[in-house]
A = this chain, B = another copy of it.
Amino acid sequence: MTERPEQPQSSPAAPNNPGESPAASVPEELLEIRRSIDNIDAALIHLLAERFNHTQRVGRLKARHGLPPADPEREALQIARLRTLAGHADLDPDFAEKFLGFLVEEVIRHHRAIAREEASGRGSDAGTVTD
């Protein structure tokens, strides 16, 4: 991302710059918001990478010790907690729950791969998982 040069007034509500029409300043406002979205997305990607590092550890731990892949009680707690956090952050709780489901789908994929590796030694079936 290239940095936009400093401007005394970049607000589209104050088009005092004779060379800038209100129409031209709208994309500028859009670009500013997009820069923030891009920063947030970078943070999200890195947090997701870190989350999967942890769930991989959980997968290896469970596979190594023959622990059951799913834990409905833990999953119910996770859903309830994320819905509450979402509500406080003004995020749709249904979306938060859907997001957790989206992550768990990927965790299942990872854990199945781990279980397949471990299964060469002793049979293990990772149907659903809770991290």
By beta carbon, the residue of chain B nearest A95 is B106
Q: Which residue, A55, A74, A99, has most C-beta atoms of chain B within 10 A? A: A99
A128 at the interface (CB under 8 A from B): no
User: Please, how many angstroms separate the alpha-carbon atoms of A40 and B78 in the complex?
Assistant: 12
Whether A78 contacts B36 by the Cβ 8 Å rule is no
Whether B58 contacts A89 by the Cβ 8 Å rule is no
Whether B33 contacts A58 by the Cβ 8 Å rule is yes
Whether B44 contacts A47 by the Cβ 8 Å rule is yes
| Chain B contacts for A40, CB-based, 8 A | 47, 50-51, 54
Contact of A54 among B36, B85, B91 (CB under 8 A): B36
A61 at the interface (CB under 8 A from B): yes
